[in-house]
Amino acid sequence: MLPDEEIPLEEKKSAFAYLAQKREQIANFQMCLSAGGHHKIGVKSDDTVISGGLNDCGQCNTQGWLDIVAVAAGGWYTIGVKANGTVVSVGHSPDGQCNTKGWQNIVAVSAHAFNTVGLKADGTVVSVGRHANFKFHNILNWRDIAAISVGWAHVVGLKMDGTVVSVGYNLFDQRNTQGWRDIVAISAGSNHTVGLKVDGTVVAVGFNHYGQCNTQGWKDIVAVSAGFDHTVGLKVDGTVISVGDNANGQCNTQGWRDIVAVSAGWSHTAGLKEGGTVVSIGDNEHGQCNTQGWRDIGPGREEV
């Protein structure tokens, strides 16, 4: 194999174009699966929602939800984006993380333990939750944002120019993304941040006690997801690579095939297969990995 610097420019452009095409193909699938603290959420092709796992705070009470196009599972709550750009939520909300009733024109959401962040169609950002503690107010000034992700106490935003902005805690350098360029996707874990580059490689910063930031050798990646202390990458061939804390087997994704979306929860991992079924691995104390019966998960035909 030729060293990267010796690969002809046209060949590189062709490879980048293929990765971009694949990212575009799976983008809506990624929005239909979310692994949270101890539960999982999936959007079905009829735009209804299925859930499983811990429901002590009502975080799985999504039975009546309709016209949902994206979901985000937080620690003990769940957020859903409707086709009309409004947002619904259920579950534990002591800090107001479910106070999304007035949101409009939302195209994506992210949830973790204490905060919920929404991306608007105009590239601005809205947020609810424990702002004062984590100094999140500055995100209301963000502009030209293409994607957002919230961790335990930090938020990262991907700008349309491929750079990354952030607010919140930086105790473990999880916000040290100032030098990142050519980023096409981001994911915030508990105390680490992961970025997918246009060339299919992955960068990561932050807490690395479990090796969750050891993504230096990854290639041909089309999607990333950061869990509490682990990181998952979806390869262009539909296989999955994982690093980090594996105490509950959440990184045992080596045998997965035909995957079109991945989501890393706190100590479990989910993968959406091409046929609309879901595979899960990791902590299953509350049944959050009992997705064997899930069917027809993914965007409706008109959304693909």
Provide the residue type at 179 as one letter. Answer: G
Residue 302 to residue 283: CA distance in whole angstroms: 35
Residue 2: pLDDT over 50: no
pLDDT at 247: 98
pLDDT at 131: 72
Confidence of residue 5 (pLDDT cuts 50, 70, 90): low
Q: Would the CA dihedral through 95, 142, 59, 98 be positive or negative?
A: positive
Average pLDDT over residues 54-73: 98
Model confidence over 96-142: pLDDT tens digits? 999 999 999 999 999 999 999 999 999 999 999 987 667 787 898 99
Residue 9: pLDDT over 70: no
For 138, counting Cβ atoms within 10 Å of its Cβ (0-12 exposed, 13-18 middle, 19+ buried), the class is middle
Residue 279 to residue 78: CA distance in whole angstroms: 20
Token pair 């995957």 is found at 259
Residue 232 to residue 242: CA distance in whole angstroms: 4
CB 33 within 8 A of CB 279: no
Average pLDDT over residues 184-198: 98
CB 155 within 8 A of CB 119: no
Confidence of residue 29 (pLDDT cuts 50, 70, 90): very high
Give CB contacts under 8 A, 24+ apart, made by 163-168. 164/193, 164/195, 166/193, 167/134, 167/135, 167/136, 167/138, 167/139, 168/134, 168/135, 168/136
Model confidence over 227-255: pLDDT tens digits? 999 999 999 999 999 999 999 999 999 99
Model confidence over 283-298: pLDDT tens digits? 999 999 999 999 999 9
Residue 59: pLDDT over 90: yes
Residue 3: pLDDT over 90: no
What is the percentage of the chain residues whose pLDDT exceeds 90? 90
Token pair 């194999």 is found at 1
Residue 211 to residue 216: CA distance in whole angstroms: 11
pLDDT at 1: 38
pLDDT at 11: 66
The model carries a pTM of 0.94
pLDDT at 87: 98
pLDDT at 6: 55
Residue 164: pLDDT over 80: yes
Residue 55 to residue 124: CA distance in whole angstroms: 32
DSSP result, 112-141: -SSEEEEEETTS-EEEEESHHHHT-GGGGG
Give CB contacts under 8 A, 24+ apart, made by 247-251. 248/282, 248/283, 249/281, 249/282, 250/281, 250/282, 250/283
CB atoms within 10 A of CB 41: 30
pLDDT at 14: 82
Question: Which tokens go with 215?
Answer: 């993504």
Report all structural domains of the chain as residue ranges with CATH numbers, in order of start: 4-303 (2.130.10.30)
- Which residues face 127 on adjacent strands? 117
Longest dimension (CA), the chain: 56
Nearest to 295 by CA among 278, 282, 271, 270: 278
What is the percentage of the chain residues whose pLDDT exceeds 70? 94
Average pLDDT over residues 267-284: 98
Residue 194: pLDDT over 90: yes
